Structure 1
Amino acid sequence: MTEGVRWASDMAELWVFGYGSLMWRPGFDFEEQAPARLMGAHRALCVYSVVHRGTHAEPGLVLGLDKGGACRGMAFRVAAGAEEKTLAYLRAREQVTDVYVEAFRPITLLDGTNRRCRALCYLVDPKHPQYAGALSLEEQLRIVRTGKGQAGGNIEYVLNTVRHLEKVGVHDAELAALAALLSAG
């Protein structure tokens, strides 16, 4: 596992940007949360999952922040004093195979304040062997139908993701289309 970004105690606060399961299941202590927008990356099923939602023999697909566009998600301000613990937790959760690059990126909080801050983001590494890139809807459907890993089935992951995104007012047309096909059988 790579070391990733360093937390410096002279940084005023640590924000984390969630775009998938981190939005509704962050798993770390935080003092504030707010809807947020990240520019320059978009949410996509672009990562072959070989642990959580698939195996090396039969990979699944999970979300990544891929280059270009924008992404609505949730930002969390980490509880003061919990920065190192939070980074360790996130690395254990997100960096199992080092498919993501830890980076600080500017985000805008969509809580009515339009505050801008820098947040820790997990961007997909397009050079990593697990990077799937832009797959057709048919290819996504084929992979997701058969993917199953340590955290369960890939179908469950996609349907749960779409349900939670809709619950917080985020409509992702591509994920919704895939979910509709998965629900239809």
Structure 2
Amino acid sequence: MKMRNIWIIGLLIFGLLLFGWVEGAAIPHMKAQEDQYNHEQLSPLTHDIKRTEKSKTKYMGSFPKVAGVFSSLPLGPIKTYKLDSDALTVQLNMEGSYSTKKQQQEETSLIYSATAAFRYIDNLEAVIYYFEDVTYKVKRSDVEKWYGAAWETLDDNQTVWKREVQSKLANESYVSKAMDSLFHQAKPL
């Protein structure tokens, strides 16, 4: 009986130590990694495009999929969406004004989200970003021309996406040229 009690006490101590390690070290470490990953999803430069793949759709008329694509992107708060199925256009009614946001960060988000939207919504032809003070429109044809031959390989793997889209957004002159070439002031839907 004495040996059995020693085993029970030993297992109890081991269990308490294991519980302490899990609660004190393992779970906080996993939480820190999750927090870091979630923080990285807020920037176009570190966003994981694989999150967007699950919402890929052939038709922009599928509102849940369209909303899924845009909500998975580092774009900022979207108040509402408008879909124009005849013109194959999505309008994002953005929260706040464009001029009050950090312009460089906002521009990289617009370029990144438009690129992703055209890659993951097959028949989408235009995206309109409607802010309180300005409205921008970007067309699929302009984005395809901007990326050239690399356009067809963008969704094949994450390495190509990082090289052709994300890494270039760190360059201010690239972002400025892309905004001038791709985004044009327009009227909202």
**TM-score band (shorter)?**
under 0.3
Q: TM-score, normalised by structure 1?
A: 0.27
TM-score, scaled relative to structure 2: 0.26
Q: Which has the higher strand share?
A: 1
Q: Which has the higher helix share?
A: 2
Higher-RCO chain (CA-CA 8 Å, sequence separation at least 6): 1
